[in-house]
Structure 1
């Protein structure tokens, strides 16, 4: 799986679509709903069941990160499955605090 910055992926089990913002520092598998994602140009419709452990959903416009590898992806289309990298759930990236204005 070549997770280059700007590459687009979609879930194999729900409607979620993703864009890689920052690639991982190590090789691994990006998953949605417990199943590996597929390239955006894959013409197959989403099929199969979402793993209940990965059913929190993807929110459009939110960034998801895997702290261990540095992988960062952007939700381009919402879906029912949640994201994981090598089986470890990814977290929504928090907003950067703004500098204090004195």
Structure 2
């Protein structure tokens, strides 16, 4: 039996195996290790990525400088290199994090 993957840590870099998307973990869900995919393929540690071309990474585009969160808002990723793949966490597409509204100044 293989050992489970180590838990995600803030600052960790992940890269897509099928497109040019690269992300940095901003917020991690404690000791859990969710399956993070891009374009349908699991993401790999950023330093060991070997990008392979894919015939169909998906219709969505991951945008540089944007933050993506999972449905429970326990995982937050910052895109540092955009690509044509869609980010997913445990099979559920991640959503673009909305900006916090600024307080009104009167």
Alignment TM-score > 0.5, same fold: yes
What is the aligned counterpart of 1:23 among 19, 28, 32?
28
In structure 1, the partner of 2:10 is 5
Alignment of 1:70 onto 2:65: no
* Unaligned 5+ runs, structure 2: none
Which structure would you say has the larger Rg?
Answer: 2
In structure 2, the partner of 1:98 is 102
> Normalising by the residue count of structure 1, what TM-score does the alignment of the two structures yield?
0.88
What whole-Å deviation, never above 9, does each CA across 1:67-99 have from its counterpart, x for those lacking one? 325100000000010100000000000010001
> Normalising by the residue count of structure 2, what TM-score does the alignment of the two structures yield?
0.85
* Unaligned 5+ runs, structure 1: none
- 4+ runs of 1 displaced by more than 4 Å? none
Query: What's the RMSD between the two structures over aligned residues?
Result: 1.6
Aligned length: 100
Q: Does structure 2 retain, via aligned residues, the 8 Å contact 1:34–1:50?
A: no
